Amino acid sequence: MRSQGQVRFIKISSRVQIAFAAIAVGATSFWVVSLGAMGVTQYLAQSERTELLDREAKVASAESRVTAYRDDLDAVADDLGSRQEFIERMTEAHLGILPDEASEDTVTDSSEETQKAVEKIGLSIPEARGLAELEARQLAYVERLTRYADQRSQRASAALKQLGLNPKNLLASVNDRSAMGGPVDSDGEIDPRFVRLGLSLARMDALERGLAGVPQYQPAAAGMVSSSYGYRRDPFTRRAAFHSGLDYKGHTGAAIRAAAAGTVVFVGRKGGYGNLIEVRHDNGLTTRYAHLSGFKVKVGQKVVAGQHIGAMGSTGRSTGPHLHFEVRQGGKPLNPRAILEKAPNVLKEIRGRDAALAS
């Protein structure tokens, strides 16, 4: 190193050089392995989708349905009855009222094949034409319901990304096809279109539950934020220190409310937090409400956004009555202000679209 006309030398021992080389090799290997894992995951997901669509197209064959009707008309009637019950349960449980239009092409359109089946069955077995037409209407409804669920999933996924959350983290438990159900036909098989419907509805539920768990409700009076997220001067040490949440100034006993729907996982005293409530949400986030003077919930209780869960206080490491509010993901703090400011507008927009579709 040359400085002010003088040359100085810095010696690095062979041991230090080897350590740096090992770190570099390890980091490179981790990066390569991560890319490989991502590639395999994407390939498997695409393969599953392709396989299911192929099975849908095969089942939609008009010839296969004619054979089924010829073999056992009573069995077909039973199949259609169980399908109808399944469709009604699914619709009531997940959507309420299905909109008239759901045009997103995310599932096989078997309308042409089912119409061919109706015509062939009508010619071959005239007394079964009514059942064939019922089946055609059912399948059209199932496919439309699947498209609608996929549309809502896409909107929920986009909203989560706007809020800085990864939708894939919410779908890890949904891709297990063995968890899906559906009406079993006379051959003991589940029509793949019903399997696909179950997957689409499960994905939609997971993503929309994730949205419901996004902090969207101010836990205390918003205008009373006295300390923000980030580095600040610590009131006790007078030195710069990282502040992992928002502080809401108020009076002892003021109502503290849940910022989002979730499950209470901790109620009690915890170090510098003093009296603390911790709520876990379906999207992997947790929220913490600290320095409380009282509790209105217990561990295991389900709460909704805006629910009164505790009272403001000054317990723990506190200089006066206030609420310390945190949002955490994987144990690491996030900026609550950024989420609380964005979430209401994002959620209002997506709910408005869903209401417009259902009207």
The pLDDT tens digits of the residues spanning 196-229 come to: 888 888 888 888 888 888 898 999 986 677 777 7
Of 15-29, 138-152, 307-321, the range with the lowest mean pLDDT is: 15-29
Q: What integer pLDDT is reported at residue 308 of this predicted model?
A: 97
Quote the percentage of the chain above a pLDDT of 90. 21
At 177, is the pLDDT very low, low, confident or very high (cuts 50, 70, 90)? very low
Under 8 Å between Cβ of 247 and 291: no
Q: What integer pLDDT is reported at residue 179 of this predicted model?
A: 44
At 29, is the pLDDT very low, low, confident or very high (cuts 50, 70, 90)? low
Burial bucket for residue 197 (CB in 10 Å: 0-12, 13-18, 19+): buried
At 178, is the pLDDT very low, low, confident or very high (cuts 50, 70, 90)? very low
Average pLDDT over residues 326-343: 87
Q: By C-alpha distance, which of 283, 115, 94, 86 is closest to 190? A: 86
Under 8 Å between Cβ of 313 and 252: yes
Element (H, E) at 255: strand 255-257
To the question of pTM greater than 0.75 for the whole model, the response is no
**Residue 343: pLDDT over 50:** yes
Q: What integer pLDDT is reported at residue 267 of this predicted model?
A: 97
For domain 222-358, is the CATH number 3.40.50.300? no
Q: By C-alpha distance, which of 71, 63, 90, 84 is closest to 187? A: 71
Taking the C-alpha atoms of residue 27 and residue 50, their distance in angstroms, rounded to an integer, is 35
Q: What integer pLDDT is reported at residue 125 of this predicted model?
A: 79
Higher pLDDT, 290 or 141: 290
* pLDDT tens-place string over residues 255-305: 999 999 999 999 999 999 999 999 999 888 999 999 999 999 999 999 999
Under 8 Å between Cβ of 258 and 307: yes
Tell me, what DSSP letter sits at residue 190? B
Read off φ and ψ for residue 3, nearest 5 degrees: -145, 120
Of 64-68, 117-121, 216-220, the range with the lowest mean pLDDT is: 64-68
Element (H, E) at 243: strand 240-243
Q: What integer pLDDT is reported at residue 188 of this predicted model?
A: 60
Taking the C-alpha atoms of residue 206 and residue 213, their distance in angstroms, rounded to an integer, is 11
For the chain, give every domain's residue range: 60-212, 222-358
* pLDDT tens-place string over residues 97-114: 555 444 455 666 777 777
